Structure 1
Amino acid sequence: MGTGNTAKVIARDGGTVAKVFHRHIGSDYIEYEYAIYKEIAKTPLQVPGLYSFEKENHALIFERIDGNSLMAEMRRSPLLMPIHMRRLAEWHADIHNCRDLLLPVFTNRLASRIIQGNDLNESEKEKILSHLGGLPDHERVLCHGDFHPDNVLITKKSHVIIDWADASVGNRLADIARSVLLINYGGLTSSPVQGMFRRLLAANYIRSYRRAGPFDMSELKKWILPVAAARLSESIGETEKEVLLKLIHARMNE
């Protein structure tokens, strides 16, 4: 059904799928992800059911969800894009209404990824980490960590939010900043049409979220620098990397 950096998803009988992790992924990581999904199951959010951890198969077993991604729906009906982005923003706000979960802290995860990256020098990393340390971190709301239109499936009855491996708790603005960057630049190519479409999506998402849960744009912008720097540690394309580096250096010089 699909293959990613850490695992491939295989359909099984009985309405289930197996997320089979690549052999270089250790059992500790799979147990960690298993614990995260069990924590997410405590919320009222619509997420795939998690059935078991099959150690012998290096796999997590989930409920099978039949549906198209929200991005696929937007490509199919572009005139409905504003409605879809409004729903995406409302569902993100629903996530941020969840609290009291035993999950990693978002800022700690950002700091770790900034340190791990190879595209910034040590002086730049120290400056960004200092900036991160000065941001408000008293909130402990649920943050998805990878929320974008491809991680919401539209089913016949409703929607289901998938891919919770990066879930954490922290400031909702950090999670919103992550989504803005992913919508704008995730998997970006050199196509000017794609770039224009992405900017339109991001603008609609921000406007819609501010209706669901108002926030100050100047406060959101403060999170863009560390979130973008952390993104560099991931397996991303050269076009996206170039854009993020330009964005990071521009923000550092403001």
Structure 2
Amino acid sequence: MNEIGALLGSGKEADVHVYGDHALKLYKSPGVKAPAFREAANLAVVERLGLPAPHVYAAGRHDGRWGIVMDRAPGASFGSRIKAEGLQPVLAEMVQLQLRLHAVPGTGLASLKDRLTANIRKAPEIGSALRETLLWQLAARSEQDRVCHGDFHPWNIHGAGDHAIILDWLDACCGDPLADACRSYLLMLHAMPEAARIYLEIYAAHSGHPADEILAWLPPVAAARLTEGVDTEREQLLQLAGSGST
């Protein structure tokens, strides 16, 4: 086994370290086992589909925490590239990558509708009436089978061009691409509202789906995000979730 090397990056749930020629993603909580194996399984699925993701080599326990060994991401994140190159060109490249995912059947991945349903059921503060309305509206939507990343934003994509790699596949699902696009819009909306607006315009233009079709997913997607403990977005998420009651 290799020694755990320098820290490459850190998020809310996990740290990523140099691990020989590879990268080691370690979940911060020592008791977190299932997500490590779920993400490893998702990476195995998308590797089989030929999508731009790290190859996964192992899942296991390292220095008291659970993690996965995978390819190291090349180059800077798209978030860093935005600062140097501007919003429009980088977000256009990001959309092309996402459309590449959305063109592929996600056989072997969990259902996006099931994931949203489970999270809406436990979402705090939305009230029983709104909860039931959102669940009813979600159940009425048709099932779709496309690869949906679930956490697709500029800091989860590294490199450029043919060498770009998409990271953090823990929440990958099989479902409606417009729900995945709406999730990307929502993830950028609070911290980078201008980026969210431009992203939405580009995705709508290149996908052939009007922005209002994408934004129709905002109430259930926002309600589901309330389970993630993002306190700085709480009021905005509650407002967006409530927009589905009319």
TM-score computed with the length of structure 1 as normaliser: 0.86
Distance 2:161 2:244 in 1: 43
Whether the aligned pair in 2 keeps the contact of 1:104 and 1:169 (CA below 8 Å) is: yes
Is 1:178 the counterpart of 2:183? The answer is: yes
Superposed, which structure 2 residues align to 1:19-168 within 5 Å?
A: 19-55=25-61, 58-78=66-86, 81-137=87-143, 139-155=144-160, 158-168=163-173
- For 1:242, the aligned partner's letter is E
Q: Deviations over 1:186-216 (max 9, x none)?
A: xx3xxxxxxxxx3322222122223322113
The counterpart of 2:243, out of the listed 243, 247, 250, is: 250
CA RMSD of aligned residues (A): 1.9
Q: Deviations over 1:136-163 (max 9, x none)?
A: 32x2000000111111102596211111
User: CA offset at residue 7 of structure 1?
Assistant: 2.4
1:194 alignment partner in structure 2: none
1:16 alignment partner in structure 2: 22
TM-score computed with the length of structure 2 as normaliser: 0.88
Superposed, which structure 2 residues align to 1:222-241 within 5 Å?
A: 222-238=216-232, 240-241=233-234
User: CA offset at residue 26 of structure 1?
Assistant: 3.9
Distance 2:109 2:53 in 1: 17
Identity among equivalent positions (%) equals 25
**Structure 2 unaligned regions, length at least 5:** 1-7
- For 1:124, the aligned partner's letter is L
Aligned length in residues = 237
Q: Deviations over 1:44-78 (max 9, x none)?
A: 22211211123465221011123111111111233
1:216 alignment partner in structure 2: 210
| Structure 2 residue matching 1:41: 3-state secondary structure | helix
Segment of structure 1 superposing worse, 30-39 or 160-169: 30-39
User: CA offset at residue 10 of structure 1?
Assistant: 1.4
In structure 2, relative to structure 1, the CA distance for the partners of 1:245 and 1:23 (3 Å cut) is closer
- For 1:140, the aligned partner's letter is D
In structure 2, relative to structure 1, the CA distance for the partners of 1:89 and 1:121 (3 Å cut) is same
